[in-house]
Structure 1
Amino acid sequence: MAKRSRTKARDSQPVEGEVGPRQPCPCGSGKRYKACHGAAGGAPAVFVNRPFEGMPSECDVVALRELVPAATAPLTLREPDPHGRSVQLCSLLPMAAPAMVRDSGQIWLGLQVQHNFGDPARDLGAVLLKALQTEEPGIVGLTDPPGEGPRLQDLVTDDRLDITVHDGFEYWIADVEDQSGMAAALEQANAAASPTARLTSVEAAYWTNVGTKEHLRWVMPEPEDQLLDALARLHAAGKDDIAPGSRFVGMFRAHGLLAPVWDLPVGTGPEPLEEPAERFAADLAEALADDSPLTAEQRSARSGLANRQVTIR
């Protein structure tokens, strides 16, 4: 029996590049692959590891989807809406709606939504096309997988997004004339949002205050292996602190990108991080350009960093 069991286990091992049925699903759900994207009739069959690749400000889009409570950015369409309506990308819409056609005619597109059909960029593209075909104000969403079609990055032309991080969700009602009866819902939404700010000296780095501590979370575009090597070099050289009293605590993986995370002393705020972040970006660029073999100390640091990764999606 033992021999047959060993043979069965050996035969069931995945070939290189595949995901084994008992391995964690790469979508980041926390389930085993056989119970998620590998299950018949389970999670969506389509899974895209880096769905926002090619999207203007890809790293910021990932941050707005996963980290930032309240932020907006205008989108420029490749083919302008025949009704002349503008489109605004939003981190979160009321009731986590996928999209809304506002009374003003403006189209709002939400990043933080309830549904997930495997490729969020394709979901966003389908929702946007549906909203562009909708003239009446209201919520627009998906109830079924969208199938083949353009992704959001196929529909826009921006080189980079002009992102505004808001103190709260007042932008939800900024274009509403009669705001009576909305105060309680807005207050509840604002109470659940952690204060957040985007650094201006570097791309896609966000400070946040969660009450008991502050963090800097920085979504980076470099390939994972190269970025881990570079971060290991900086860690071994003692150059991975972002500010006095800060501590590099690891990183998370979201939509195919890594985001290093630092704990900050309470009371730091975003402004004191601007110059250190810019200096860190320069040190990181130098480390990325170093193609020499890692030293033993650097390899040890890299192993520790790799073990401190958490996948969001």
Structure 2
Amino acid sequence: MSKRTAPKPQADIGIKPRQPCPCGSGKRYKACHGAAGGAANVIVTRPFEGLAAECELVALREFVPSATAKLPLRDGGEVTLATVLPMAAAALRRNDDKAFIGLQVQTHSGDISRDLARAVDWVRSAELGETLSVVGPETAEVGAVPPRLQDLLDPVAPLDVELHKDFSWWLPEDVEPTGEVALSLERANAAIMPTERLTAEGVESAYWVDAGEKAHLRWVRPEPEEQLLAALARLSARGELALGEDSRYAGSFRAHGLLVPVWDLDREKHAREWDEPAAELGRRLAEALGSLDTEPLNAAERRARDGLRGRQITIR
């Protein structure tokens, strides 16, 4: 596949340096997109905020190995979001004219949402077989405020995620991989951990993952961290935080502004056997979240919250 050079910078768009930056960061234009490097200087800790698909985007970016989803573009264009592309490319247009952008990529800016939007813009005008290896500062327009994914997508549309057992979808059905692509495909397939998306009613962005020695449930939650942590602590104090006798709450990690609780599961059970336990836990969690407005945490629940905080890490 060939590679195309980034577009040349354009002229300044005329915003005064001391005016608020139109990107909404709250900074003055001269300290944000008007500075050298533009959008690359702006660190966005919750890049997918405002999208109904936020939790799914976090899951696909961080731990789902092989999956695709058609992007719900406002203008109805055909671009497929992928967890990872050959050689971790940012975007590619296959020889069969299908356009893809990758989530699990190297980034050189502080806003993944803008990087993805640039990849979408690039791939829609790319020629057959072209690949964009990385989105970086050189693809930004000097003085301009490039769009974010929120500007391109229907904000209330969910992602219809399709999980794959391997990465054979990288290539059209009648094409045999060769060279670097074949090597990348072999390595990617060897590294896949079996993953299933739980499908019970009320359970969204929750994935069963077979990590080898044990299985896990990783559940991306949309609630503010402190609110979610308080609800988890309420369940923990009641002994209701597990999904049953064959599970235990392991901790949580932060990713792109959201908290992802994790449970260790009995690896001998099939992923589908955890659908109903997860739904029951979801109902208990919803009840606990609803009770926080009228019932402050008691002493035991506050101690439980402190214990849960000790099992948190941040990966993004």
TM-score, length of structure 2 as denominator length = 0.80
Match of 2:147 among 150, 156, 168: 150
Q: Which residue of 1 aligns with 2:164?
A: 166
2: distance between equivalents of 1:137 and 1:76? 23
Identify which range, 150-159 or 181-190, moves more after superposition.
181-190
Deviation at 1:115, TM superposition (A): 1.6
2: distance between equivalents of 1:205 and 1:161? 14
Q: Deviations over 1:44-100 (max 9, x none)?
A: 53111211012232101100000100011011322244xxxx210001111010111
Q: Deviations over 1:212-234 (max 9, x none)?
A: 11111000000111101100000
Deviation at 1:131, TM superposition (A): 1.5
Are positions 1:74 and 2:67 aligned together? no
Are positions 1:309 and 2:312 aligned together? yes
1: distance between equivalents of 2:289 and 2:197? 24
Q: Which residue of 1 aligns with 2:206?
A: 205
Q: Deviations over 1:139-174 (max 9, x none)?
A: 12424263622111211226111001111111112x
2: distance between equivalents of 1:193 and 1:120? 24
1: distance between equivalents of 2:242 and 2:312? 18
Counterpart contact for 2:87–2:184, Cα < 8 Å = no
Deviation at 1:266, TM superposition (A): 2.2
Q: Which residue of 2 aligns with 1:22?
A: none
Q: Which runs of 4+ in 1 moved over 4 A?
A: 182-185
1: distance between equivalents of 2:184 and 2:126? 26
Distance 1:126 1:259, change over 3 A: same
Q: Which residue of 2 aligns with 1:263?
A: 264
1: distance between equivalents of 2:73 and 2:227? 34
RCO higher in 1 or 2 (8 Å CA, sep ≥ 6)? 2
Distance 1:283 1:56, change over 3 A: same
Match of 1:108 among 100, 112, 126: 100
2: distance between equivalents of 1:88 and 1:102? 11
Deviation at 1:114, TM superposition (A): 1.1
Identify which range, 128-137 or 118-127, moves more after superposition.
128-137
1: distance between equivalents of 2:207 and 2:290? 25
Q: Which ranges in structure 1 are unaligned for 5 or more consecutive residues?
A: 1-39
Aligned alpha-carbon RMSD (Å): 2.0
Distance 1:143 1:45, change over 3 A: closer
2: distance between equivalents of 1:206 and 1:180? 30
SS of 1:234's equivalent in the other structure is helix
2: distance between equivalents of 1:77 and 1:168? 26
Q: Quick one: which amino acid aligns to residue 132 of structure 1?
A: R
Q: Deviations over 1:176-221 (max 9, x none)?
A: 5231546654332111111111100110000111111111100000
SS of 2:41's equivalent in the other structure is coil
Counterpart contact for 1:243–1:273, Cα < 8 Å = no
Alignment of 1:236-251 (within 5 A): 236-251=237-252
1: distance between equivalents of 2:130 and 2:106? 17
How many residues align? The count is 268
Q: Which residue of 1 aligns with 2:47?
A: 51
Are positions 1:60 and 2:56 aligned together? yes
Q: Quick one: which amino acid aligns to residue 88 of structure 1?
A: T
1: distance between equivalents of 2:237 and 2:149? 40
Deviation at 1:260, TM superposition (A): 0.3
Q: Quick one: which amino acid aligns to residue 157 of structure 2?
A: D
TM-score, length of structure 1 as denominator length = 0.81
Q: Deviations over 1:235-284 (max 9, x none)?
A: 00111111332110110000000000011122123111100000111100
Distance 1:122 1:44, change over 3 A: closer
Counterpart contact for 2:108–2:137, Cα < 8 Å = no
SS of 1:49's equivalent in the other structure is coil
Q: Quick one: which amino acid aligns to residue 72 of structure 1?
A: T
